[in-house]
Chain A
Amino acid sequence: AQSVTQPDIHITVSEGASLELRCNYSYGATPYLFWYVQSPGQGLQLLLKYFSGDTLVQGIKGFEAEFKRSQSSFNLRKPSVHWSDAAEYFCAVGATDSWGKLQFGAGTQVVVTP
């Protein structure tokens, strides 16, 4: 069965420091991978997605992610975080058994300190 794991429940980072959020997946075929961000009380916004081609994907708000098939990972990075990046981040994979259904990780809460 496919699964998505975000090992870090909570990360605290200083403003201006770099950020990396981990995502591991278990999947039988070529995965369709997504990163979403959720601000408090809001819906989810897509940061970036990967389904083929260049394994380094650029997204909005200065985020990027790298697909590593050998490690079954799709980690999200940002070189320098801003206070507005404080939010919850979800990794998701497109399901094999249903067009369009997304399976989400449990999320990583990011806190940005001054």
Chain B
Amino acid sequence: NAGVMQNPRHLVRRRGQEARLRCSPMKGHSHVYWYRQLPEEGLKFMVYLQKENIIDESGMPKERFSAEFPKEGPSILRIQQVVRGDSAAYFCASSPNGNRQETQYFGPGTRLLVL
């Protein structure tokens, strides 16, 4: 059973470009979480999605950021018009049912660098 997969692992963008980060959850998992880790900081929750639904987006910046988890295919975190402050590691995690007691399994992360 493959773990959580994220691609690309590294992404370099110039200011103003778009960044698209992909996350494929573990097989059988229908709940996906995105977290952002700024340099020298812990992970900060961004968004929680179930298939075709956004459950909690309280950690998402109001502008330029969006996320989706379609019926088919990976979850996508999209950052439009990137700025230098978006440089961070973005981690995706998945769980089977979204239960608070469940383990969230993390992917290896996408490290975004904005030049």
Contact = CB atoms under 8 A, between A and B. Distances in A.
Interface of A: 6, 32, 34, 36, 41-46, 49, 51, 90, 92, 94-95, 97-107
Contacts of B69: none
Given A51-B101, A100-B33, A100-B98, A43 B108 contact: yes
Interface stretch (B11-19, B37-45, B77-85): B37-45
Contact of A100 (B4, B42, B59, B102): B102
B84 to A, nearest CB: 21
Nearest to A94: B100
A45 B106 CA distance: 7
B52 interface: no
A106 B42 CA distance: 4
B99 A100 contact: yes
A42 B108 contact: yes
Interface of B: 4, 31, 33, 35, 41-45, 48, 55-56, 58-59, 91, 93, 95, 98-109
A60 B62 CA distance: 39
Contact of B91 (A43, A98, A99, A105): A43
A49 B103 contact: yes
A90 B42 contact: yes
Contact of B95 (A51, A100, A104, A105): A100
A50 B99 CA distance: 14
A78 B36 CA distance: 28
Counting chain B CB atoms within 10 Å of each CB, the highest count among A43, A100, A104 belongs to: A100
Contact of B100 (A43, A99, A107): A99
Nearest to B104: A102
Given A43-B106, A49-B103, A101 B43 contact: no
A101 B41 contact: no
Nearest to A91: B42
13 contacts: A32-B100, A32-B101, A42-B108, A49-B101, A95-B100, A98-B56, A98-B58, A99-B98, A99-B99, A100-B55, A100-B104, A101-B33, A104-B43
Contact of B55 (A34, A42, A49, A99): A99
